[in-house]
Amino acid sequence: MTSRLTFDAVSLAYPGRDRGSSSTRVLEGIDLSVSSGDFVVVIGRSGSGKTSLLNLAAGFQQPAAGAVLLDGQPISGPGAERAVVFQDDALYPWLNARDNIAFPLALKGVAKDARRKAAEELLARVGLAGSGDRRIWELSGGMRQRVGIARALAAEPRFLLLDEPLGALDALTRSKLQLFLLDIWKTSGAGALLITHSIDEALLLATRIVVLQPAPGRIGAILDSGFAGEILSGADPRKVRQSVLFRSMHDGLTALIHDNAHEELAA
């Protein structure tokens, strides 16, 4: 079933810190939709409201104006059909890898044997077959993120909400997990909404790139990107990065994100 996550004229404000102080408008006039099979990447400078946007989709926050909808219904809180993965893997240290993955199934009341079987399948799917008994502290950062993504997949979500999931990893692990994320997204059929600071990552993974401009966060540009499709069809990411189109889109995005920063500094 095709599903759609929609931001309809969404604004978000945080209350002022002191009593009586005015609120800070963080997002304004956001119109955006993410459907099953889309990989939407949101990029923008620090403080432009990327995490706030994802938090709205997750149902952690409510808009001050406009609506965030799932298949036409307002989102009133978190839900199993929208799985969230953070930069910090947020795994449960008292459980091993398998039980971390099975945790959402336990919440759903799935029986123990079925949970174990599903978790083993997910471990294999994320390249960690045989590692189910390992404790979280016995896993590398990249392995922990794989466990986090497997846990997110356990509830068969319709949307993957990914807040810089690869941000804390070394460059080589990050490149590997980018390909892994693409593969997971494609085979799951879910829609993905990913936040990143990396223009390179945005170009490699996205079907659509959304550039947020800050203060208040608003959409500065939306670009279609076809490199993820090329990579999924077997193209070598290193070659893709060297293509004229990739480089010119990289330059264009750099200018879009950073040029305004220079103007603000000069003002």
Ligand X SMILES: Nc1ncnc2c1ncn2[C@@H]1O[C@H](COP(=O)(O)OP(=O)(O)OP(=O)(O)O)[C@@H](O)[C@H]1O
Tokens of 1: 């079933």
Q: Is 265 exposed, middle or buried (0-12, 13-18, 19+ CB in 10 A)?
A: exposed
Measured distance CA(96)–CA(40) in Å, rounded: 32
Q: Which is nearer to ligand X, 37 or 167 (CB)?
A: 167
Q: Work out how close the CB of 145 gets to ligand X at its nearest, in angstroms, rounded to a whole number.
A: 17
The answer to whether 161 and 84 have CB atoms below 8 angstroms apart is: yes
Q: Work out how close the CB of 249 gets to ligand X at its nearest, in angstroms, rounded to a whole number.
A: 21
Q: How many CA atoms lie within 13 A of 253 on its CB side?
A: 27
Q: Work out how close the CB of 135 gets to ligand X at its nearest, in angstroms, rounded to a whole number.
A: 30
Q: Which is nearer to ligand X, 14 or 92 (CB)?
A: 14
Helix residue ranges, H only, the chain = 50-58, 97-107, 112-125, 141-154, 171-188, 199-205, 227-232, 237-242, 244-266
Measured distance CA(212)–CA(49) in Å, rounded: 7
Q: Which is nearer to ligand X, 49 or 66 (CB)?
A: 49
Measured distance CA(181)–CA(32) in Å, rounded: 22
Measured distance CA(256)–CA(238) in Å, rounded: 24
Q: Work out how close the CB of 139 gets to ligand X at its nearest, in angstroms, rounded to a whole number.
A: 25
Q: Work out how close the CB of 180 gets to ligand X at its nearest, in angstroms, rounded to a whole number.
A: 23
Q: Which residues bind ligand X (CB under 6 A)?
A: 14, 24, 26, 44, 46-52
Q: Which is nearer to ligand X, 52 or 188 (CB)?
A: 52
| Residue labelled with tokens 């550039």 | 211
Q: Work out how close the CB of 87 gets to ligand X at its nearest, in angstroms, rounded to a whole number.
A: 9
Q: Which is nearer to ligand X, 50 or 146 (CB)?
A: 50
Q: Which is nearer to ligand X, 48 or 100 (CB)?
A: 48
